[in-house]
């Protein structure tokens, strides 16, 4: 099979971790007989430095021309980097928001999994982490407060700022369908999270999710208020399978869930549109403080590449191979600095890539 992949190395540790993901993908291509072509594009600070904007139209066109996009990470140190002297719409993160909208990537899948081998890193009490957990947050990614109209005005010397949270039923329906579809391949449980006791958008959300649920009699649906969900993720994350929620709630809850695993350096994500196309990136940030030191953990990016093989190319066997390689390497006791534990062997970013490629 021919795989046409656009890469966004990005900022901070981005280039290093994407290099390792390519290494592993190349090995997969070799072993399973595929042919991969890569094209790199600039986004975020890297693009600002060259083009003055975080994402050019040419870069968007290059991303659209690919079968899938693999991304490292975007952004720098917000207090010291000159990128953050720019107006908000020119900063690195604006590139990320722009590409999500331009490619219509409305479905953000963020798995939060507790790896047995890394359960010591979990910040939860042992009797809770011993239960293990494997949940997926399905976050709506192109609507809500992120993309509603906003403005700041000054009237009689008083500044007022307004953001708008808008959802229409079509936006809700398509993300709900994605959530139910994926729940079918998992444990069949969807928890839809909203703030229906306050927001009109949440009440519409709940209604449309209920309507979609009628087509999925095999799936167990429940609704949970966002404040309660923020509690339940700490109290007992094992109760969740798929959490379905809107953009801003998803941003907060998925980061909370990733920290609850204790090993955010292991967490992949996928942002999908209505076809097979998707953008794949680690859940963690660009860690500018350790950039270029060859100590970053490339596993989240490598697992994002596995999600890419699975969702954009239907190459399940190949995706399984990567995921199994990760488990096996953990079992053998290799660890990057962020997940280091007693009795394990500490390895750098590129060495971890080598080990995983060899394992395929």
Ligand X SMILES: CC(C)[C@H](C(=O)O)[C@@H](O)C(=O)O
Binding-site residue set: 100, 110, 139, 227, 251, 255, 285-297
The alpha carbon of residue 282 and the mean position of all alpha carbons in its chain are separated, in whole angstroms, by 6
Q: Can 338 be counted among the known catalytic residues?
A: no
Note whether 187 and 133 are within 8 A (CB): no
Note whether 127 and 79 are within 8 A (CB): no
Site string for ligand X, 201-230 (x = CB under 6 A): --------------------------x---
The C-alpha R_g of the chain, in whole angstroms, comes to 20
* Count of residues near a copy of itself by CB under 8 A: 62
Relative to beta strand 134-140, strand 242-245 is parallel
Q: Can 163 be counted among the known catalytic residues?
A: no
In the bound state with a copy of itself, the residue whose beta carbon lies nearer, of 58 and 130, is: 130
Residue 223 in tokens: 């609704």
Q: Which of 1, 31, 65, 231 binds a copy of itself (CB under 8 A)?
A: 231
Site string for a copy of itself, 266-305 (x = CB under 8 A): ----------------------------------------
CA atoms lying within 13 Å on the CB side of residue 328: 12
From residue 124, how far is each of 89, 133, 149, 238, 261 by CA, in Å? 38, 12, 39, 12, 8
Note whether 33 and 76 are within 8 A (CB): no
Site string for ligand X, 130-149 (x = CB under 6 A): --------------------
| Rounded-to-integer distance, Cα 292 and Cα 14, Å | 9
Question: Is residue 197 close enough to count as binding a copy of itself by CB under 8 A?
Answer: yes
Q: Among 79-87, 89-97, 118-126, 349-357, which window interacts with ligand X (CB under 6 A)? A: 89-97
CB of 225 to ligand X, least distance (A): 7
CB of 190 to a copy of itself, least distance (A): 16
H or E element in which residue 244 lies: strand 242-245
Please choose which of a copy of itself, ligand X, none residue 337 contacts, taking the beta carbon within 5 to 8 angstroms, the exact cut-off set by kind.
none
| Rounded-to-integer distance, Cα 188 and Cα 26, Å | 34
Q: Can 216 be counted among the known catalytic residues?
A: no
Note whether 305 and 347 are within 8 A (CB): no
From residue 229, how far is each of 107, 140, 224, 253, 267 by CA, in Å? 20, 17, 6, 8, 20
**End-to-end Cα distance, the chain:** 18
By CB under 8 A, what part of segment 118-157 binds a copy of itself? 122-126, 128-129, 145-146, 148, 150-152
Q: Among 93-101, 175-183, 307-315, 329-337, which window interacts with ligand X (CB under 6 A)? A: 93-101
| Rounded-to-integer distance, Cα 352 and Cα 347, Å | 6
By CB under 6 A, what part of segment 250-279 binds ligand X? 251
Question: Is residue 260 close enough to count as binding a copy of itself by CB under 8 A?
Answer: yes
CB of 286 to ligand X, least distance (A): 10
Question: Is residue 168 close enough to count as binding a copy of itself by CB under 8 A?
Answer: yes
**Bridge partners of 184?**
none
Q: Which of 57, 215, 227, 274 is catalytic?
A: 227
Q: Which of 200, 215, 314, 345 binds a copy of itself (CB under 8 A)?
A: 200
Question: Is residue 79 close enough to count as binding ligand X by CB under 6 A?
Answer: no
Please choose which of a copy of itself, ligand X, none residue 210 contacts, taking the beta carbon within 5 to 8 angstroms, the exact cut-off set by kind.
none
Active site residues: 146, 195, 227, 251, 255
Chain residues binding ligand X by CB under 6 A are 93, 96-97, 197-198, 227, 251
């Amino acid at each position: 099979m021919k795989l046409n992949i656009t890469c966004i190395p990005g900022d901070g540790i981005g280039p290093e971790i994407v290099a390792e993901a390519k290494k592993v993908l190349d090995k997969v291509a070799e072993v399973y007989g595929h042919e991969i072509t890569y094209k790199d594009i600039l986004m975020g600070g890297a693009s600002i430095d060259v083009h003055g904007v975080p994402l050019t139209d040419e870069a968007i066109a290059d991303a659209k021309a690919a079968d899938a996009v693999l991304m490292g990470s975007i952004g720098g140190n917000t207090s010291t980097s000159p990128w953050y002297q720019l107006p908000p719409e020119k900063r690195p993160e604006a590139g990320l928001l722009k590409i999500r909208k331009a490619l219509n990537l409305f479905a953000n899948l963020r798995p939060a999994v507790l790896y047995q081998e890394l359960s010591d890193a979990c910040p939860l009490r042992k009797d809770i982490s011993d239960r293990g957990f494997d949940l997926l947050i399905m976050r709506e990614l192109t609507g809500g407060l992120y993309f509603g109209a906003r403005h700041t005005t000054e009237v009689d010397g008083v500044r007022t700022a307004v953001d708008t949270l808008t959802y229409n039923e079509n936006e809700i329906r398509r993300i709900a369908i994605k959530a139910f579809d994926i729940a079918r391949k998992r444990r069949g449980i969807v928890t839809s999270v909203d703030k229906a006791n306050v927001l009109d958008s949440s009440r519409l959300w709940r209604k449309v999710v209920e309507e979609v649920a009628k087509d999925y009699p095999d799936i167990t649906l429940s609704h949970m208020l966002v404040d309660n969900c923020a509690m339940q993720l700490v109290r007992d994350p094992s109760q969740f399978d798929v959490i379905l929620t809107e953009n801003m709630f998803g941003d907060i809850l998925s980061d909370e869930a990733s920290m609850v695993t204790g090993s955010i350096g292991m967490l992949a994500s996928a942002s999908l549109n209505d076809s097979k196309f998707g953008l794949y990136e680690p859940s963690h940030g660009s860690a500018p403080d350790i950039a270029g030191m060859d100590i970053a953990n490339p596993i989240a990016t490598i697992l994002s590449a596995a999600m890419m093989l699975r969702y954009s190319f239907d190459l399940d066997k190949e995706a399984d191979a990567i995921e199994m390689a990760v488990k096996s390497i953990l079992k053998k006791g290799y660890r990057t600095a962020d997940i280091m534990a007693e009795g394990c062997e500490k390895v750098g970013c590129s060495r971890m890539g080598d080990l995983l490629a060899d394992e395929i």
